[in-house]
A = this chain, B = another copy of it.
Amino acid sequence: MASEEWRVLSRLELLDGSPWLRVWAETVELPDGRVIDGFYSLDSPDYAVVFATAGEQVVVQRGYKHGPRRVALHLPSGHLEPGEEPLDAAKRELREETGYEAEGWTPLGTFSSDGNRGAGRAYLFRADGARKVAEPASDDLEETETLLLTQHELLVALGRGEVAVLSSAATIALAASPPTS
């Protein structure tokens, strides 16, 4: 309902780290008329995450992530390029990071990374019928290895804390328990 929405009265840019990060302080008006100053809002590129299956196995990556500051399992993912469709970004990232292409693509949902501040949307996909067509050709800074795990092995690893990043955990769990339509 429109009456529940907040109105942004003004926004002050605090940091311009385009295209990776912009930080704003917003002045917002709540539905009850209260005005709140200094509500942080973050702009970051949207990104895609892919749960790709090759037969009974899932295409998984293992490597260092600087957010959690440790080596962990994660799914192929990456930022959308300017003007790029989320599905195209998902296909490109899967191919660049792992060398795999997939046949059947299913969206698992689109979500804000941060409920209060935005910080980019996560486009989550399931991709079935993946097969390796090339060597990985990623320009990511991290050294990453590609593994094939069964869904059961991946869920065990998730339960043991071997997945460190929220978007990968969400995508694995959504793929294992697909939203009902």
A152 B173 Cβ-Cβ under 8 A: no
* Residue numbers in B under 8 Å from A114 (CB-CB): 67, 113, 119, 165
Report the Cα distance A29→B158, complex, angstroms. Answer: 29
In the complex, which residues 133-181 of chain A have their Cβ closer than 8 Å to any Cβ of chain B? 141, 143, 152, 155-156, 158-161, 163-170, 173-174, 176-181
Contacts of A115 in B (CB 8 A): 65-68, 74, 77, 164-165, 167-168
Interface residues of A (CB under 8 A from B): 1, 4-6, 14-15, 17, 20-21, 23, 25, 28, 30-32, 34, 36, 38-41, 63-71, 74, 77, 109-119, 121-122, 141, 143, 152, 155-156, 158-161, 163-170, 173-174, 176-181
